[in-house]
């Protein structure tokens, strides 16, 4: 799905306030603590709960392996002002044969526009780096904040609600889609393939 450009651990996205980079083994404890929050798990379709350190380590290992093969692209979200501190995660991975955007942020960092900033950057990168014609996303119906982020980026509801994996296994989730033709290219990110290389995505 993703080209060679994105298959190296130095690949990252830069927005006005954020760095989006590959997860590292050193992120495991922070990911476990943040993703293990029941509220965070309940508001996503796939976060395990409880989240054990082994779960976080597996997420990191799988993310790096799949990114290196170009099968998926998952980032941890960090503030430029605190680049070593993880505040969430975001990425695109195949689900039911279709590329799907997913993300979550720690509760204390919500309501500040970070989710929209990160989601816009990853959406732009996805359409610029791949030939895919559509990007999907799924959220629980009660997660109105994430629904607002998706709708703001041009995603529209599709299909009927389906049951989700993870902690929300018995609840329906809403599915959204953004066709390439409706992608607006908000240009909020800069793509950083490696040291000394800097060009605007848009």
Q: Is residue 202 part of a domain?
A: no
Q: Is residue 20 part of a domain?
A: yes
Distance CA 106, CA 117 (A): 15
Whether residue 133 is predicted with pLDDT greater than 70 in this model: the reply is: yes
Helix (H/G/I), strand (E/B), else coil: 144: helix
Q: Is residue 84 part of a domain?
A: yes
Global confidence as pTM: 0.86
Which of 1-5, 150-154, 187-191, 197-201 is predicted least confidently? 197-201
Count of domains observed in the chain: 1
Q: Is residue 9 part of a domain?
A: yes
Whether residue 55 is predicted with pLDDT greater than 70 in this model: the reply is: yes
Q: Is residue 199 part of a domain?
A: no
Q: Is residue 110 part of a domain?
A: yes
Q: Is residue 118 part of a domain?
A: yes
Q: By the 8 A CB rule, do 173 and 163 touch?
A: yes
Domain that holds residue 95: 4-187
Q: What CATH number is attached to the domain comprising 66?
A: 3.40.630.30
Helix (H/G/I), strand (E/B), else coil: 47: coil
What is the predicted pLDDT for the residue at 201? Answer: 39
Whether residue 59 is predicted with pLDDT greater than 60 in this model: the reply is: yes
Q: Is residue 115 part of a domain?
A: yes
């Amino acid at each position: 799905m993703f080209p060679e450009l994105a298959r190296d651990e130095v690949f990252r996205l830069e927005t006005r306030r954020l760095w989006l980079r590959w997860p590292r083994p050193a992120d495991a404890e922070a990911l476990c603590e943040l993703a293990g929050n029941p509220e965070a798990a309940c508001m996503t379709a796939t976060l395990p709960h409880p989240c054990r350190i082994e779960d976080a380590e597996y997420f990191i290992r799988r993310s790096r392996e799949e990114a290196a093969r170009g099968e998926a692209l998952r980032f941890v979200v960090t503030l430029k002002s605190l680049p070593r501190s993880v505040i969430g995660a975001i990425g695109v991975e195949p689900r039911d044969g279709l590329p799907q955007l997913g993300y979550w942020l720690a509760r204390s960092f919500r309501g500040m526009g970070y989710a929209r900033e990160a989601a816009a950057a990853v959406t732009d990168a996805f359409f610029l780096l791949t030939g895919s014609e559509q990007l999907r996303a799924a959220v629980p119906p009660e997660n109105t904040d994430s629904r607002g982020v998706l709708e703001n980026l041009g995603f529209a509801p599709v299909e009927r609600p389906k049951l989700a994996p993870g902690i929300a296994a018995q609840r329906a989730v809403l599915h959204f889609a953004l066709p390439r033709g409706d992608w607006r290219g908000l240009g909020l990110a800069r793509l950083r393939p490696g040291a000394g290389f800097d060009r605007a995505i848009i």
